[in-house]
């Protein structure tokens, strides 16, 4: 058959089993069989995995950019170039995140996503938009500009969903804001995942949006407030969103794979308390990610940052803010390596956090996210430390080390 591929002699992280020596056979871009005996299989293309791990491609459901790509600013051409860079780190699916901005800018940018998805070869990597802001809690805004924060007015929600609902996959909002239950219902009705984040919601406020369909948490432990002190009883703690999402087995939780944003014990904790398919690792990476240590970047307003040990830090004459953390510059393969180390779990378990689990939250687990017969051949060959050798997108080689 002309369009087929045999990857053999690899250690296969299949959906249900780990094969210490096996193969994956791909036909027409889909996984056609997986097993241990490849002697009788003939294919037009073959890859000797040479004992590399054969892993599902990584899915980053929260990232603002990489290299020269900024999902909030970039044109279609730059978006596509950036998608190619993601592939170099084993990523085969990305949900691009916007930032709090005037609605018309977010809608215009969503239009560029729509175009980029249709560009051949790398467009398939893009899986729509994650809207992060403007419906966030001012106190928990993190890197979002205060001037752009809003409550979800019905008119604005209708406008955003009416003009960009076809490319929006997830929306992060603070459940304590007015209209948030109604907003969640609007999202759920369209198959968009409602996501809690940048929030100081109470337990009850979080429960109400979970009932309306919210199913995920944006970068837990970063701009989320776990508990509040009871105003009437000194040191009596009141449960917040954290308790609600830890108690609900239907809600997945994402952690940024970065010890500066998320202290290490939280990786072990979430691994212990959440169901196996409800823990997700993301990068939340910004433009500049993947550039060498010390690279200096400046934005349109002339603000300067530099790459420092997987994060971006500010450069300023003002000693008050010089060196301040401005965002993550971690790549997906490094995030997964850290997860393995911090949570003390084997590589094939860590991989789930960055493949089948985000696919499940996004509702694309029937199409991608694991090595299973019938799914798209979105596959990564890597060593035990997540150093990527080859990335395949629907069976096509989209990255290979020299």
Contact 374, 320 (CB under 8 A): no
Q: Which is nearer to Zn ion, 4 or 242 (CB)?
A: 242
Q: What is the DSSP pairing of strand 30-35 with strand 45-48?
A: unpaired
Residue 283 or 360: the one with the smaller Cβ distance to Zn ion is 283
Q: Closest residue (Cβ) to Zn ion? A: 284
Sheet containing 216-217: give its strands across. Answer: 58-63, 91-97, 126-132, 168-173, 193-196, 216-217, 252-256, 279-282
- Residue closer to Zn ion, measured from CB, 223 or 398: 223
Provide, rounded to whole angstroms, the least separation between the CB of residue 70 and Zn ion. 12
Shortest Å, Cβ 247 to Zn ion: 23
Q: Which helix (H) or strand (E) holds 109?
A: helix 103-117
CB of 231: closest distance to Zn ion in angstroms? 28
Q: Please say which residue, 14 or 220, places its beta carbon nearer to Zn ion.
A: 220
Tell me how far apart the alpha carbons of residues 78 and 112 are, in angstroms, rounded to a whole number: 10
Residue with tokens 């694309």: 364
Beta-strand ranges (E) seen in 219-271 are 227-229, 237-239, 252-256
Which of residues 58 and 221 has its CB atom nearest to Zn ion in the complex?
Answer: 221
- Site for Zn ion, rule CB under 5 A: 97, 132, 284
Minimal distance, residue 37 CB to Zn ion, in Å: 45
Q: What are phi and psi of 228, to 5 degrees?
A: -130, 155
CB of 222 to Zn ion, least distance (A): 7
Phi, psi of 211, deg, nearest 5: -60, -35
Choose between 60 and 378: whose C-beta lies nearer to Zn ion: 60
Q: What is the DSSP string of 334-373?
A: HHHHHHHHHHT--HHHHHHHTTHHHHHHHT-TTTSSSB-T
Smallest distance from Zn ion to CB 379, Å:
27
Taking phi first (over 0 means left), then psi (-120 to 50 degrees means alpha), and beta for anything else, what does residue 185 get? alpha
Q: 60 vs 132, which CB is nearer to Zn ion?
A: 132
Q: What is the smallest separation between the CB atom of 79 and Zn ion, expressed in angstroms?
A: 17
Distance from C-alpha of 243 to C-alpha of 184, rounded to nearest angstrom: 19
Residue (67 or 395) nearer to Zn ion, CB? 67
* Minimum CB–partner distance for residue 132 and Zn ion (Å): 5
Tell the smallest beta-carbon distance from residue 128 to Zn ion (Å). 15
For tokens 């790509």, name the residue: 69
4 or 132: whose CB is closer to Zn ion? 132
Length of the chain equals 402
Query: Residue 187's closest CA among 220, 210, 221, 219?
Result: 210
List of residues 6+ apart from 40 with CB closer than 8 A:
none
- Residue placing its CB nearer to Zn ion in the complex, 31 or 256: 256
Where does residue 305 rank: exposed (0-12), middle (13-18), buried (19+ CB within 10 A)? buried
- Smallest separation, CB 197 to Zn ion (Å): 6
Task: Say how many CA atoms lie within 13 Å of 207 toward its Cβ.
Answer: 8
């Amino acid at each position: 058959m002309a369009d087929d591929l045999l990857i053999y002699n690899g250690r296969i992280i299949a959906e249900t089993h780990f094969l210490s020596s096996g193969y994956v056979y791909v036909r027409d871009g889909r996984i056609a069989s997986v097993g241990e005996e490849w002697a009788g299989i003939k294919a037009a293309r073959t890859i000797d995995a040479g004992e590399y791990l054969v892993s599902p491609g990584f899915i980053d459901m929260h990232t603002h950019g990489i290299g020269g790509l900024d999902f909030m600013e970039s044109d279609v051409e730059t978006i596509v170039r950036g998608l190619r860079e993601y592939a170099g780190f084993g990523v085969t699916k990305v949900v691009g995140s916007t930032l709090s901005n005037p609605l018309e800018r977010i809608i215009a940018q969503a239009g560029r996503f729509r175009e980029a998805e249709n560009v051949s070869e790398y467009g398939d990597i893009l899986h729509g938009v994650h809207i992060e802001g403007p419906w966030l809690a001012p106190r928990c805004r993190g890197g979002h500009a205060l001037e752009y924060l809003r409550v979800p007015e019905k008119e604005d929600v209708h406008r955003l969903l009416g003009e960009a609902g076809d490319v929006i996959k997830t929306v992060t909002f603070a459940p304590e804001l007015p209209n948030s239950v109604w907003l969640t219902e609007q999202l759920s009705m369209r198959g968009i995942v409602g996501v809690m984040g940048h929030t100081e919601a109470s337990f009850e406020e979080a429960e109400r949006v979970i009932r309306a369909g919210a199913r995920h948490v944006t970068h837990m432990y970063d701009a989320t407030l776990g508990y509040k002190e009871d105003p009437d009883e000194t040191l009596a703690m009141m449960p917040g969103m954290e308790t609600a999402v830890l108690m609900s087995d239907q809600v997945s939780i994402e952690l940024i794979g970065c010890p500066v944003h998320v202290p290490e014990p939280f990786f072990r904790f979430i691994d212990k308390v959440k169901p196996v398919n409800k823990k997700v690792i993301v990068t939340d990476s910004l433009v500049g990610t993947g550039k060498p240590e010390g690279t200096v970047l400046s934005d349109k307003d002339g603000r300067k940052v530099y790459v420092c040990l997987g994060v971006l830090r500010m450069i300023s004459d003002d000693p008050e803010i010089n060196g301040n953390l401005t965002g993550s510059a971690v790549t997906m393969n490094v995030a997964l390596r850290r997860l393995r180390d911090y949570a003390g779990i084997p590589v094939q378990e860590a991989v789930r956090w960055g493949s089948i689990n985000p696919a499940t939250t996004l509702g694309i687990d029937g199409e991608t996210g694991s090595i299973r017969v019938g799914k798209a051949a979105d596959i990564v060959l890597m060593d035990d430390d997540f150093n990527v050798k080859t990335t395949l997108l629907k069976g096509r080689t989209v990255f290979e080390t020299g």
